[in-house]
Structure 1
């Protein structure tokens, strides 16, 4: 059992139960087991009335966990909730662990691993794009695509293994069909195409990382405050004020941007500032967009060599505009901030696709990359059917690990530890 709603006090508190003894607990605390999937107003208590609320019963297997489940929707009083939980504990129920309801749903075949990851992302979603992506994964969009790939692999494996096992039978040809190699290549091409969307999905899920870079005192922290419309970063005229990477999330029309305020790039004898410069250089290398800041009163330094879009931003435009910049802004007057945001959005729109990218995790990328590599091996081994069959089997296993049908325990504990108690 667990309190699945927010911490009291609240208007309504939802207490969730799951397990074979749920009907007995319902009789003990509310007098009867209500009609399945119908909210029923019942007194809650045993020796004395603790509350009055709505009771819902979901018998197995048609429930979230696949077990008998129930929900008590009661008033969100801290004292009332504590009394009901104490009553249930006294009857033998125990408090759920983080993510235990979802883990039971997985163990009972109600959800697979990628759907559970989608549920976790949905709970954490802060922007519209994150919500759409997470919901599509939770609703089984990626699972359906993986199932198509698995079925194709099963057909290919059946074709090649039939010749290995029954080549002496008269109705089984010894050689593979002429189109067999093309079918393997078509499947690999489809998986490789999906792999190209992983980075787009990662950007939606984690946000577009925008590095604010340049020499000290060029106006990085001032620009961060202007973009975030808040005094988040400390601004002084002393060089080296920023010594660590500060991350500020920004929701821009449903897409998450993560602004990175970095230490100014320069040679320094200070160990603390030198570490800040090292972290700044690493952040620039891992950024999706780099804003390179230049100012009329600061000597410019060589720009970093990056493969991602780099936008030159002339700061302190209220003093003097540096020529040859892509955008000129003034954090003091907010001049040019709208133009800079428009330029950021234009670049950001090229980094994400119109439809939600279902692949968004490193685990996704590694699983599909392994399957693609095994298909490559199978293509090269068609003259040796035994080896080709083994490569196809390994490709299948890579996809099965992704949905949690093999080696699921490796990721379950870490995954469910991020879930709330009542989920």
Structure 2
């Protein structure tokens, strides 16, 4: 179905019925006409009104609460209406069918309400990405980070940077206008370089923050060590479910077993690996190779072997995993038992503490790969402006910096990714 700005769209915007209440949204130039057709009248804007909804034959559909939001001051920037229905399947189906029989209306595509909000200037691209993250959030930390982005924190930061870069560019233009030809490049006002340095420092600091992808995908914790060290048992107790097969037989785990989980409100991806040893078994050898590759990609390592054999002490927590069966190991950070539960609380506390340094801080703007690419280009342009001795070239570098920032908020150069982004939204959003 082709999407058109002149179309009026409708969709169920609440959860699938049955439910106590179901909300159907209508957006577009025929929204008022649709409301009048079903309710028999046009309620006052922005005031909830009870109405008996009827189909085109006069048959009763539902006693509903009707709200109207004339554009452009609506969520989508165009005429918008909401029908708050009783949430039964038959009620929702009947109302959607009645809307479908009204000329000029069609069902919305996934994310189309939000896309219209973006195209009509009600939100920018960074805020839309925050909404997408909020829809996908499964942990408290993911929810909080998404709310910061959806609330416009990054957009406001970019706007402030844009204003400061524009101010620096204006000072260059003034210097070019009033300088003699022999003086070009030597008449910048005091403080220009300091302001540019401050901007470069802020962008560098933002780019150095932990990426939002780690918050989405989880801190990757690889559990590694020799065969029969208790790796699978430890993964199961941390994941809170039987995610990996456990056995007293050495070499039971031959491939990576991944278990996404939330610990202390933070997302983790726990990875069980094959025991690290030399083997003549072809399948086990492949599993050991994958285990070593997984270690290289780990954010944190739970090492269950001899501390002297730990492949990366900086990322590792040294765990003696069978503390109920073996004497204490002096080189271990923690002594735990998946059988008795001893030391597990201490391990969880240490994991969440380590994860805190790897995840975006609460309330801080977290940026994704697209943001980082645009900000890195902005930073490079600002550094070019600082390094150059020609005011005209410096002015051009500042122009490039502003253009790169435009891509963060979607003002330029993002058409190729809009369908992919809004396609991740549910129908009705």
Range 398-407 or range 208-217, more displaced? 208-217
Structure 2 unaligned spans of 5+ = 1-9
Q: 1:247 to 1:36 in 2, by over 3 A?
A: farther
1:19-418 equivalences in 2 (<5 Å): 19-46=28-55, 47=57, 48-92=59-103, 93-164=105-176, 167=179, 175-199=187-211, 201-294=212-305, 302-305=309-312, 308-323=314-329, 324-352=331-359, 354-381=361-388, 383-418=389-424
Structure 1 Cα separation of the partners of residues 254 and 44 of structure 2: 62
Range 387-396 or range 280-289, more displaced? 280-289
Structure 2 Cα separation of the partners of residues 279 and 56 of structure 1: 57
Structure 1 Cα separation of the partners of residues 208 and 356 of structure 2: 16
SS at match of 1:311: strand
RMSD: 2.3
Structure 2 Cα separation of the partners of residues 280 and 412 of structure 1: 37
> Is this contact kept in 1: 2:185–2:391, CA < 8 A?
no
Range 157-166 or range 355-364, more displaced? 157-166
Q: 1:83 to 1:176 in 2, by over 3 A?
A: same
Structure 1 unaligned spans of 5+ = none
SS at match of 1:20: coil
Q: TM-score, length-normalised on structure 1?
A: 0.91
Q: 1:101 to 1:257 in 2, by over 3 A?
A: same
Q: CA deviation at 1:8?
A: 1.5
Q: CA deviation at 1:123?
A: 1.5
SS at match of 1:347: helix
Matched, 1:8 2:17: yes
User: How many residue pairs end up in the alignment?
Assistant: 414
Q: CA deviation at 1:7?
A: 1.3
Q: 1:301 to 1:239 in 2, by over 3 A?
A: farther
Q: CA deviation at 1:103?
A: 0.5
